Amino acid sequence: MFNLIPAHQIALRVAEIGRSISRDFEGRPLTVVGVLNGSVILVADLIRSIQIPHRVGFVQASSYSGATTDPGTLSLDMTLMPEVEGRDVLIVDDIFDTGRTLHRLVDEIKKRKPSSLRTAVLLWKQGRCEVDVTPDYFGFEIPNSFVVGYGLDYGDDYRHLSDIWVLEQTDLGPDNGEREGR
């Protein structure tokens, strides 16, 4: 493992994004929708940086199962999301990889008639996008590597790390060592 982004850089960037969101949505009814489980830490830090009134909710989206680095079928659970009709919505996710998760969430939330819909991610993995969608706000562009920490996991571990770390092939084990990252 090697450290890609230290905690102090993450904190500074999240605060900058929070200030931008506060300016962009000032005087408007904002709902922040975090994507479970990876975005929990980002959502907690980001909502403290957003200096305008806002609601918070969550959706659960999962395309990785267990200790794998290959995405599977995307499943969504929208039961923890508040009513968003007529409100500005900001979807917050941990990482933008292929874009399939964000693309599907945008489509699903649009059906609920928000006034506007924007997206924010901490990490944007370059060169992997498979859909015609890009995040409106992002923290850091990163290489095509499998990363953990600050909410991101591998086999449901490493979420607790304050920094963003790159797992190297030897860290991924024999079953996943040659598979492509997220």
81 DSSP assignment:
P
Known catalytic residue: 97?
A: yes
Query: Of 45, 66, 69, which Cα lies nearest the Cα of 56?
Result: 45
Q: Which residues 6+ apart lie within 8 Å of 75 measured at CB?
A: 60, 61, 62, 63
Which conformational region is residue 143 in: left (phi greater than 0), alpha (psi within -120 to 50 degrees), or beta? beta
Q: Considering the candidates 24, 93, 97, 157, report the single residue annotated as catalytic.
A: 97
Q: Which SS3 state, helix, strand or coil, does residue 50 take?
A: coil
| Helix or strand (DSSP H, E) at 33 | strand 30-36
Query: Of 161, 157, 164, which Cα lies nearest the Cα of 95?
Result: 164
The catalytic residues are: 97
